[in-house]
Amino acid sequence: MEESYKNVKKSMESVFEEVSKELANLRVGRASPSILEGITVEYYGKRLPLNQVATISTPQPQLLTIQPWDKSIIQEIRKSILTSNLGISPIVEANLIRLPIPPLSEERRKEIIKIGHRIAEEGRVAIREERRKAKEELKRREKEKEISEDNMYQGIEKIQKLTDQFTGEIDETLRNKEKEILEG
């Protein structure tokens, strides 16, 4: 039974980590290299993450700079940023790309918060799905007399506490992100 508990806990942890990562990537109006994480660049026939072909830095709170290691791909990086739907216009200057981060409008902040709520709800649904699978496994094992009925109910209770813990952590992460977006 401990094995089942460890497996469901590991699954829920990975769901929580994924939700946290997605929420962290939501743009808040401040320059952060994390907003460029999903961008890939064509480089010698391969698609590579931007941070593997360039140095990304934040010289000012509203500005990102990208300095490619190979100057010949500067236009490719510019094109990748433009097609990424970030809503940021890159400015190419010699061997450097500047990304001025515009302040968010109130309307855009609300849109981003809605996206955050959707991401959090998808995470909560995934965690509840893990709970459902674990409960079915416990019920199956009780039916096959591998565990007692008491053990099954104890396991279900333990899994419910785990579910509550991780959905609470998702809610807390979302609240912090909302606060960051509204203050941004």
Specify whether the CB–CB gap between 116 and 26 falls below 8 A: yes
| Residue 1 CB partners (closer than 8 Å, separation 6+) | 138, 141, 147, 151, 155
Q: Look-up: residue for tokens 């965690």?
A: 127
The predicted pLDDT at position 69 comes to 92
Measured between alpha carbons, how far is 117 from 85 in angstroms, rounded to an integer? Answer: 20
Both tokens of residue 42? Answer: 């064509």
Q: What is the pTM of this model?
A: 0.68
pLDDT tens for 37-78 read 888 998 888 999 998 999 999 998 889 999 999 999 999 999
Sorted by where each starts, the structural domains of the chain and their CATH numbers stand as 2-25+105-183 (1.10.132.20), 33-100 (3.30.1360.40)
Report DSSP state, residue 160. H
